[in-house]
Amino acid sequence: MARRTLVTYEGMTRRRTLGVLAASLALAACRATGDAAVLKVASQKGGTKSLMLASGVLADAPYRVEWAEFPAAQHLLEALGSGAVDVGLAGDAPFQFAYQSGSPIKAIGAQLASPRPSDALAVIVPARSPLRTFADLKGRSIATTRGSVGHYLVLRALDRAGMPLDSVRFSWLAPGDAKAAFDSGAVDAWSIWVPYLAAAQLEQARILVDGRNLVKGYGFEIAHEGAIARKRALLVDFAAREARALAWLADHRDDFATVLARETGLPIEIARITAQKNLRLPVPVGAALIADQEIVLETFRKAGDIGSPRPIADAFADIGRG
């Protein structure tokens, strides 16, 4: 079998230039013809939508954005896989979980938390819980969503602690149901992310382990393969605007929090905490990122959650940048 060669974004300058030119021409055509182009964008718990609205970067977009809201990455990725939406942001673990299941999606851009927050993702217990360390969870139940960053965090924490995979019992629940189970004592712990984590901490939940030294914190802008083929120009333009919005966020976290609270109904104090944990920067898809994704894939594979893997390099599509 021929050796597969990884081609990174950095090494594709000529293709990027041609892609940008094609995207510019396609957008110009939209303006000239008045074509009612639509980009269907998925937003997880209001995050992307609130950022784009608060920053104002979509004000002069030559296409219409239709937003779809989801409580967690798994629901967002299901919608992406079905073609119900064109593009959306999700963490690396749920992306790999969905991609390896055969979903017709590809990552078209990458972001990385900067600086990496200490408690944007954590395994928590109620304030009244007698459990004090992650090892104390042996034989206990942990609520999280299957294939989520919460699921991945538990697998990584088990590995670091030298605990067998069957040391804990997973309760596969969506965030809303997991909170109800956590609050009622139906589960012993909850592996969860912001903004749900911020709300739980305000209710005095305690962190047993967080993702700071276990999870890299990548987020991927993911598109359906059909959208990449038919709406490349819109995706290129949206990615450029999102990059501007991320740069804007560094100095406007309170403005973002205000819009996030309005869009999601979150209390303003939770929205502010979420804004502090939501600083991300675009990063190139190169050898280092691919190596990090191999760790994600191997972690799920060892746990028996993924069978014969698809090549990770094939999970990324270079659409060019405006």
Whether residues 13 and 112 fall in one domain:
yes
129 and 196, same domain (yes or no) = yes
What is the structure's pLDDT at 290?
94
pLDDT(224) > 90: yes
pLDDT tens-digit profile of 118-141? Answer: 788 999 999 999 999 999 999 999
Position 43 in a domain:
yes
Q: What are phi and psi of 257, to 5 degrees?
A: -60, -40
- At position 162, the amino acid (one-letter code) is G
Do 282 and 110 meet the contact criterion of CB atoms below 8 Å apart? yes
Q: Is residue 2 part of a domain?
A: no
63-77: average pLDDT: 95
Q: How far apart are CA 57 and CA 92, in angstroms?
A: 25
Which of 34-38, 113-117, 191-195, 216-220 bottoms out in mean pLDDT, i.e. has the lowest? 34-38
Same domain as 98, residue 237: yes
What average pLDDT does the segment 307-316 reach?
A: 90
Q: Dump pLDDT digits (tens) for 267-283.
A: 999 999 999 887 888 99
Phi/psi at 169 (nearest 5 deg)?
-110, 125
Whether residues 68 and 16 share a domain: the answer is: yes
Nearest-CA neighbor of 78 among 48, 103, 59? Answer: 103
H helices of 110-231, in order, are: 149-161, 175-184, 196-202, 225-230
Considering the domain architecture, whether residues 222 and 112 belong to the same structural domain is answered as yes
Q: Is residue 102 part of a domain?
A: yes
pLDDT in tens, 231-276: 999 999 999 999 999 999 999 999 999 999 999 999 999 999 999 8
The domain that contains 309 carries what CATH number?
3.40.190.10
Q: Which domain holds residue 152?
A: 121-210
pLDDT band at 25 (very low <50, low <70, confident <90, very high): very low
**Which residue in 198, 190, 192, 175 sits closest to 277, CA to CA?**
198
Mean pLDDT (whole number) for 162-182 = 97
**Gyration radius of the chain's alpha carbons:** 20
Does the pLDDT value for residue 186 go beyond 50?
Answer: yes
Could you tell me if 146 and 229 lie in one domain?
Answer: no
Domain boundary among 184, 210, 236: 210
At residue 193, what is the residue type?
W
Higher pLDDT, 65 or 4: 65
State residue 320 phi and psi, 5-degree precision: 90, 170
The answer to whether the peptide bond before residue 195 is cis (omega within 30 degrees of 0) is yes
Please report which residue ranges of 162-204 form alpha helices under DSSP H. 175-184, 196-202
pLDDT confidence band for 321 (50 / 70 / 90)? low
pTM of the model: 0.86
Q: Above pLDDT 70, what percent of the chain?
A: 87
Structure tokens at 198: 């911020």
DSSP state of 162: T
The Cα–Cα gap between 261 and 195 comes to: 11
**Which residues, listed in sequence order, are joined to residue 220 by a DSSP beta bridge?**
90, 110
- The answer to whether position 287 is within a domain reads yes
Q: Is residue 192 predicted with pLDDT exceeding 60?
A: yes
Q: How many domains in the chain?
A: 2
CB-CB contact of 85 with 58 (8 Å) = no
- Tell me the residue type at 42: A
Ramachandran class of 312: left when φ > 0, alpha when ψ lies in -120 to 50, beta otherwise: alpha
Domain final position from 210, 244, 277: 210
Same domain, 126 and 74: no
